[in-house]
């Protein structure tokens, strides 16, 4: 987080984390397509021919707080494929908030659990505990006929009992609820810090 009091500007980093193909890039594409251009910049995606994220995606979103402070959200996605762990570590550095996008497919149950564990470990390497950082979960692909039930997903992934959102990102469902929630959490933390 970077606060520029002269310019009344706060820079915040939000990272969409999760296993390969869970829908992280889809979330960003929906935000880009649906958000009033007044509030967002250009979407940068770095992907391969197969549309898999290679390094990261990036979208800047701007919100003005009452009192005139401008909050610039730098929203990133990580590449979920197992062998891009080094990229995930880099993208995660300095994150102020995390959206964990889980895949509701039963085939991806283990992948969800593994990458949640990786998230925890990577943060710890960076001196941060998962419970100290604003975090929300998104259970995506709820349209799958055999989607894992929510209790199972919570038991697997939501040990901290944070807010979770059901989504079908490819149909734009749940995307803004999730974004709203993480933005509010990050701003809340920011307010409590600046008051202290
Ligand atoms: N059925 C279904 N498919 C979805 C949903 N959301 C995204 N997809 C599809 O899942 C595939 C992967 O989506 P991406 O957004 O590229 O996934 P990602 O998490 O960015 O993947 P990596 O960049 O490899 O980590 C695409 O074909 C999407 O259209 C959903 O809610 N339901
Ligand atoms: Mg991606």
Q: Is 53 in the pocket of ligand 1 (CB under 6 A)?
A: yes
Task: Answer for the pair 87, 4: CB distance below 8 angstroms, yes or no.
Answer: no
Interval between CA 22 and ligand 1 midpoint (Å): 5
Tokens 């283990």 locate to 110
* Domain annotation for the chain: domains and CATH numbers: 2-195 (3.40.50.300)
Which pLDDT belongs to residue 156? Answer: 98
Is the pTM for the entire model greater than 0.85?
yes
Residue located nearest, by CA, to atom 1 of ligand 1: 141
Angle (CA) 143-173-153 rounded to 5° is 55
* Residue-by-residue pLDDT tens, the chain, 196 positions: 788 888 889 999 999 999 999 999 999 999 999 999 999 999 998 877 667 777 889 999 998 888 888 999 999 999 999 989 999 999 999 999 999 999 999 999 999 999 999 999 999 999 999 999 999 999 999 999 999 999 999 999 999 999 999 999 999 999 999 999 999 999 999 888 766 5
Q: Do the Cβ atoms of 15 and 99 come closer than 8 Å? A: yes
**Nearest C-alpha neighbor of 176 from the set 63, 27, 41, 73:** 27
pLDDT at 49: 65
Q: Looking at ligand 1, which atom is closest to the CA of residue 78?
A: 25
Task: Give the DSSP H or E segment for 153.
Answer: helix 150-157
With a 6 Å cutoff on the Cβ, whether 46 touches ligand 1 is no
Secondary structure of the chain: what % helix, strand, coil (to 5)? 40, 30, 30
Our answer on whether the CB atom of 104 is closer than 6 Å to any ligand 1 atom is no
Which residues are paired to 130 by β-bridges? none
Q: How far is the CA of 46 from the centre of ligand 2 (A)?
A: 9
């Amino acid at each position: 987080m970077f606060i520029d009091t002269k310019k009344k500007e706060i820079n915040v980093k939000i990272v969409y984390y999760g296993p390969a193909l869970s829908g992280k890039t889809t979330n960003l594409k929906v935000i880009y397509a649906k958000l009033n251009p007044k509030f967002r910049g250009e979407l940068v995606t770095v992907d391969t021919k197969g549309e898999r994220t290679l390094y990261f995606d990036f979208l800047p979103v701007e919100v003005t707080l009452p009192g005139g402070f401008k909050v610039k959200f730098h929203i990133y996605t990580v590449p979920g494929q197992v062998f891009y762990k080094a990229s995930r570590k880099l993208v995660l550095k300095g994150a102020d908030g995390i959206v964990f996008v889980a895949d509701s497919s039963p085939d991806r149950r283990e992948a969800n659990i593994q990458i949640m564990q990786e998230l925890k470990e990577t943060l710890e390497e960076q001196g941060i505990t998962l419970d100290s950082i604003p975090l929300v979960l998104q259970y995506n692909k709820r349209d799958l006929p055999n989607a894992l039930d929510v209790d199972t997903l919570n038991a697997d992934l939501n040990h901290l009992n944070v807010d979770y959102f059901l989504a079908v990102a490819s149909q734009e469902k749940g995307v803004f609820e999730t974004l709203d929630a993480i933005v509010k959490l990050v701003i809340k933390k920011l307010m409590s810090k600046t008051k202290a």
